[in-house]
Amino acid sequence: RQPLSSCVAGERLCSTEEATAGSGTYTRHGFIFSSLAGCLERKNEDNELPVVSVVRDSESQLLPNVGAVVTCKVCSINSRFAKVHILYVGSTPLKSTFRGTIRREDIRATEKDKVEVYKSFRPSDIVLAKVISLGDAQSNYLLSTAENELGVVVARSEAGVQMVPISWCEMQCPRTHTKEFRKVARVQPQFLQT
């Protein structure tokens, strides 16, 4: 077992005729690919094909997986979706930000056709969301806030003050008492970032 080199997720390692796919890899079209970033290892068994595996480097980037709850910041919104930067996976801060999209139909579980993005999020809101797919070529993660526990956790009013949730769809500025619409998260204690 000798570590060969580092590799990135999705990198083509070798053909399935040269080796057998081990942990941290997957096969497609006769080739073995790395499924995570880390160190490539090749282990020779007796007279068998060597087993190629990828071991996660402890310093390497944690990636948002499908089903993970992530904390993200809203960058921009339009009538169809909100663009976000993913900052945390669970309670672990990411070394680099990943882009995500919350589509209008993934904002809440009921009355999806009546959802309006600008009544759910505003730029610079901090949102808890769940990864529902790894997205497309632009490396955008598709996120959902359909569960009650997901949605806006921190929002600032136009006066620059952190707003207080007053219902599942509204937050209020404690200084001006102005109400603004949001898709408010019913935050579970384990997801609160200090």
- Condensed to tens digits (0 to 9), the pLDDT of residues 106-142 reads 999 888 888 999 999 999 999 999 999 886 545 589 9
For residue 129, what are the CA distances in angstroms to 90, 98, 120? Answer: 10, 13, 13
pLDDT category at 170 given cuts 50, 70, 90 is very high
Place 187 in a pLDDT band, splitting at 50, 70 and 90. low
**What pLDDT was estimated at residue 139?**
58
d(CA 84, CA 11): 26
The first and second tokens of residue 151, run together, are: 């949605």
Distances in Å between the alpha carbon of 146 and those of 44, 54, 66, 82, 98? 48, 35, 15, 14, 21
**Pick from 16-20, 90-94, 135-139: least confident:** 135-139
pLDDT over 80 at 1, yes or no: no
User: 10 — alpha (psi -120 to 50), left (phi > 0) or beta?
Assistant: left
| pTM of the complete model | 0.66
Average pLDDT estimate for 78-104? 89
Higher-pLDDT residue of 23, 190: 23
pLDDT confidence of residue 136: 57
- Domain residue ranges of the chain, discontinuous segments joined by +: 6-55, 68-187
pLDDT number for residue 102:
96
Domain 68-187, CATH number (from 3.40.50.300, 3.40.640.10, 2.40.50.140, 3.90.230.10)? 2.40.50.140
Residues 68-104 as b or e (16 or more Cβ within 10 Å = b)? bbbbbbbeebeeebbbbebbbbeeeebeeebebbbbb
Q: pLDDT value at position 188? A: 54
Are both 6-55 and 68-187 of the same fold? yes
pLDDT digits (tens, 9 = 90+) for 44-63: 877 688 898 887 765 455 67
Q: What is the percent of the chain with per-residue pLDDT over 90, rounded to a whole number?
A: 54
Q: ∠ CA 144-147-148 to the nearest 5 degrees?
A: 135
Distance CA 174, CA 54 (A): 51
- DSSP letter (8 states) at residue 4: E
Output the pLDDT for position 130.
Answer: 96
How much is the average pLDDT of 24-52? 85
Whole-Å CA distances, 177 to 163, 165, 166, 174: 9, 12, 11, 5
Give CA–CA dist 138/135, Å, rounded: 8
Is residue 72 scored above 50 in pLDDT?
yes
The runs of H, that is alpha helices, within 89-191 are none
Q: 6-55 domain in CATH 2.40.50.100?
A: yes
Cβ neighbours of residue 25 closer than 8 Å, sequence gap 6 or more: 13, 32, 33, 34, 35, 52, 53, 54
Nearest to 100 by CA among 71, 58, 59, 67: 71
Q: Is the dihedral of CA 134, 135, 137, 140 positive or negative?
A: negative
